[in-house]
Amino acid sequence: MYKVLESPLNYGGITLKNRIIFAPTTLGLPREEQLQRLREIAAGGCAMIIIGDVPVLPHGFGPSLYNKRGFAWYRDLADTAHREGCLICAQLHQSDSNFKGMMKYIPGVLAGQISQDELREILNRNVGPYISGLPEKKVNEITSAFGTAAELAVQAGFDMVQVHGDRMCGSFSSSVFNSRSDRYGGSTEKRARFAVEAVSSIRSKLPGLPIDYKLAVRLEHPHYGNAGVLEEELGVFLPLLEQAGVTSFHVTLADHGKLSDTIPPRNHPYFGEEGCFLRFCDTVRGLTKLPVCAVGGLTDPAFVEEQLEAGRMDCIAMSRQLIADADWPRKVMEGREREINRCIRCNKECLGGMMSHRGVHCIYERKDKK
């Protein structure tokens, strides 16, 4: 029934058994609970899991590939996915938050005087000055570290890496944040240099490794997203990234705005529809022959199959839907669509759980516990 969705795909050098990927997601769960959640998602039949926010520097936020404990954690994740017949990808990133500069706000957060939304707004306000003021020597250290981190990820068992095109790559790419006057700022080509060097660093160390790129696209008229690349700049960015070694594109809306824009609920004023970011895939499709992955509000198998048949994308990435029902792929392929716990994009326990530090959950978990 879903011939394209169920079919294998050469995704930039690796073979996906079907067209379904678990999108990179900050779960905020205790380790064992997170491992169990990812085990369930892998067992549910998706082709690949992307592990979000793997730091490229030794002292980045989150588990580190550079120390024994962090490396063992990533090895556990890779082994867990592989045991269920699922591939695994490491999303490499460098934060663009000035954590030292944010220390003065910690007492206000702890006292409840600064909300999570307010803190996020403050963080975003500080991105531009921070990345615009980074010394070139530090910039070179960061872009070079992408190659080192990729080597460690492969040693830990990852099948692919994704370069996080938001975070620092996205802030360097953006004319909103990047006001540098050196070779990393100014023209579209210069603003692309950070991302290009990050990809080139990986390619120089691992010539055969598939490299996915999370392509963060921002909008004007109406304005959504602050990092990333304007649609009209994609014609410059994409060829440069391809030449550097990117083998596929994961296309989404740029971040550094409201989280409810990049994780939009069904009542979002602009991104409420099914497949809400597909318009960006349409633009990217016209500029590259590399595989394109769509993400954003994809829950209905019939709709997904129709868009795949139309060639708007080669595969899909899901987060909230696979959290709502890890068995979505298996149920779809077995003709059991009526049994699916459909994500209603309410954002109550997923985004809401993350923002309240309870971890990412789903309203269906509450129903199951009754």
DSSP code string of 281-309: HHHHHTT--S-EEEESS---HHHHHHHHH
- The model carries a pTM of 0.94
Give 294-311 pLDDT, tens digit per residue.
Answer: 999 999 999 999 999 999
| Residue-range domains of the chain with CATH | 3-369 (3.20.20.70)
280 Cβ contact partners less than 8 Å away, ≥ 6 residues apart: 215, 217, 231, 251, 252, 253
Give 90-118 pLDDT, tens digit per residue.
Answer: 999 998 876 666 566 566 665 666 666 66
Which of 224, 227, 295, 231 has its CA nearest to residue 258?
224
Residues classed as catalytic:
167
- Among 4-18, 40-54, 91-105, 247-261, which is the least confidently predicted range? 91-105
**SS3 assignment, position 259:** helix
Looking at residue 1, its pLDDT comes to: 83
What mean pLDDT is reported for the chain? 92
